[in-house]
Structure 1
Amino acid sequence: MTTPITGTAAGVPFTALGPADGGPAPLIITWHMLDAPRSDPAFAAALPMHGLPAWRVHLGMPMCGARMVNGSMDAALELVHKDPLMAYLHPFVEQAVSEFPAALASIREQLPVGEGPIGVLGGSLGGAVALRVLADTQTPIFAGAVVNAAIRMRSVVELFPGEYPYDAASTKAVDSLDFLAKTDVLAERAPLLVVSGEQDHPGLRADALTLTEAMGERAELLSIPGMAHPLAEEPGIEPAPQLPHARAVDDGLIAWFGRHLRSLG
């Protein structure tokens, strides 16, 4: 196991884990959940993917981890109460995606990862970021994976109390994050592993099954029996011992990315 490296990439905090020898290797970028584990070091501890011949760089999401306001998630929770879609979900994804190109360039300057195709991984809301990078950027990607992901943002909005009052702007925003409508583009871009806990929120679970089926041979489904939505115990900000369900996810990711790393030659 390698010691985590922490730093910032164009202002984005990251936790990096290198290959066993710490030398040049391909790159896998991840975006964490906003449920536990809700920071880049906590996500790195939950899904370290040890043994892969790759650098795994876990990026911090907005207002999480090192970017929490006054050291807590209270400011983010205030945005949830203000407007879960337009103040929280949509802008967090948009900011993470907009930060990605400069962060990637900075990581390439700091770590021996080369200029080749990368892997991408996202959990929960971070899954929407990974899917957006797949669907809406030209970054070369050799493989992707999502875990209990926000595949269709309307399904996520439905998890919040009350009926959401959609208008023209919020309808446009939520539809821009409907990746069931972008399966053809996703299938063209890279093979995708869809990891889904069998006890995840029913809407998110249904979206995972639908996405896998729609992508055909370009996607694989990994169902984790007994796993609900989080991958770690609360509060999920600091690194913690890997839970059994997270270990099962981690094993699946190691096998998935290992297979596609070998295809890079």
Structure 2
Amino acid sequence: MTVTGTAAGVPFLAVPPAGDRATAPVVVAWHLLSPPCTPEAFAAAIPLAGLDAWRIYVGLPLSGARLPQGGYDEVMRLGYVDAVRHLQYPIPHGAAAEFPAAFAALRAQLGFGADVPVGLVGGSAGSAAALLALVNGAGPRVSAVVALSPITRLEAATDATGRVFGVEYPWDAETRGLVAELDFVARAAEVAASGAALRLVVGAEDDAEGFVRPAQELAKAVPGADLVVLEGLGHDLAEAPGVEPAPQTAGAARVDALAVEWLREHLS
């Protein structure tokens, strides 16, 4: 039975394991900002089918239940005013910052043990949140990370998003300083030092400079990291608009199987 609620102010949807709820591994997953863009939609697209673990889908700031007044129209307005300062930096940064307290609250509410194996999953902006939470090291010890359509260099991803919307982001010294925190290619030594097993899954049809090449660079820089490039897959993992749960696409099913395979191997 699915459990929903909030943990230290973070909305979540949790699917319990088939086995012992106290000792099963725990997987925390952050959604994309493109489809699927809510915990509920991400859980439908990437259900981690067959994985005997707590599967906990958490909401990103400024999305889903935490949309600002004005909803998605206001998010788009903020993006056109300044995408990095208003959205692309504060969303993953905020998600990583709130993770330790949210995880502690989830443990108290759901009753899983303090020493169970922990995995992180994230899609796009959610992958940046997962990787930042990993290198911050303030939460639980993480055994495995699966980054889907990953943002591994926020500057490159921002430029790719600009190409989609037909705009060029006006970089300055401050914003380049912000995105440096989310340049995991530059921080590859910290990713490696975490000890977490890393798998990156990227679509071959995704933006080459914004997503495919940075994922390749991170996989090369982190010993033992695994990269899977899926032919026929773009960036999104659900059909638009991706707000409500929807039937899983064939591409998302392939991604889901790869995530489960990695987590099952490294969370045992």
Same fold (TM over 0.5): yes
1:182 aligns with 2:187: yes
Equivalence for 1:66: 65
Q: In the TM superposition, what are the counterparts of 1:42-81 in structure 2 within 5 Å?
A: 42-69=41-68, 72-81=71-80
Equivalence for 1:13: 11
Contact 2:189-2:222 at 8 Å conserved across structures: yes
Distance in structure 2 (CA, Å) of the matches to 1:112 and 1:244: 34
Letter in 2 for 1:214: A
Q: In the TM superposition, what are the counterparts of 1:151-162 in structure 2 within 5 Å?
A: 151-159=152-160, 160=162, 161-162=166-167
Question: Which secondary structure state, in structure 1, belongs to the residue aligned with residue 186 of structure 2?
Answer: helix
Contact 1:19-1:51 at 8 Å conserved across structures: no
Q: In the TM superposition, what are the counterparts of 1:1-265 in structure 2 within 5 Å?
A: 3-21=1-19, 23-24=21-22, 25-69=24-68, 72-116=71-115, 117-139=117-139, 140-159=141-160, 160=162, 161-189=166-194, 190-203=196-209, 204-217=211-224, 219-262=225-268
Distance in structure 1 (CA, Å) of the matches to 2:257 and 2:111: 25
Contact 2:97-2:133 at 8 Å conserved across structures: no
Question: Which secondary structure state, in structure 2, belongs to the residue aligned with residue 82 of structure 1?
Answer: helix
CA deviations 1:134-181 (Å, max 9, x no partner) are: 112243101111001111011112121433222221111011111001
Question: Which secondary structure state, in structure 1, belongs to the residue aligned with residue 244 of structure 2?
Answer: coil
How far does residue 50 in structure 1 lie from its aligned partner after superposition? 2.2
Letter in 1 for 2:133: V
How far does residue 71 in structure 1 lie from its aligned partner after superposition? 7.6
Report the TM-score when normalising by structure 2: 0.92
Contact 1:20-1:51 at 8 Å conserved across structures: no
Contact 2:200-2:219 at 8 Å conserved across structures: yes
Contact 1:36-1:236 at 8 Å conserved across structures: yes
How far does residue 210 in structure 1 lie from its aligned partner after superposition? 1.1
Distance in structure 2 (CA, Å) of the matches to 1:112 and 1:257: 21
Structure 2: which 5+ runs fail to align?
none
Question: Which secondary structure state, in structure 1, belongs to the residue aligned with residue 71 of structure 2?
Answer: coil
Distance in structure 2 (CA, Å) of the matches to 1:184 and 1:122: 20
Report the TM-score when normalising by structure 1: 0.93
CA deviations 1:60-91 (Å, max 9, x no partner) are: 01121122245831221111011011111111
Structure 1 residues 128 and 236, CA gap change in structure 2 (3 angstroms): same
Distance in structure 2 (CA, Å) of the matches to 1:70 and 1:180: 35
Distance in structure 1 (CA, Å) of the matches to 2:182 and 2:53: 29
Structure 1: which 5+ runs fail to align?
none
How many pairs were matched up? 259
How far does residue 22 in structure 1 lie from its aligned partner after superposition? 6.4
Contact 1:16-1:58 at 8 Å conserved across structures: yes
Distance in structure 2 (CA, Å) of the matches to 1:4 and 1:74: 30
Distance in structure 1 (CA, Å) of the matches to 2:204 and 2:109: 39
Runs in 1 of length 4+ with deviation above 3 angstroms?
Answer: 69-72
Contact 2:100-2:138 at 8 Å conserved across structures: no
How far does residue 216 in structure 1 lie from its aligned partner after superposition? 2.8
Contact 2:131-2:184 at 8 Å conserved across structures: yes
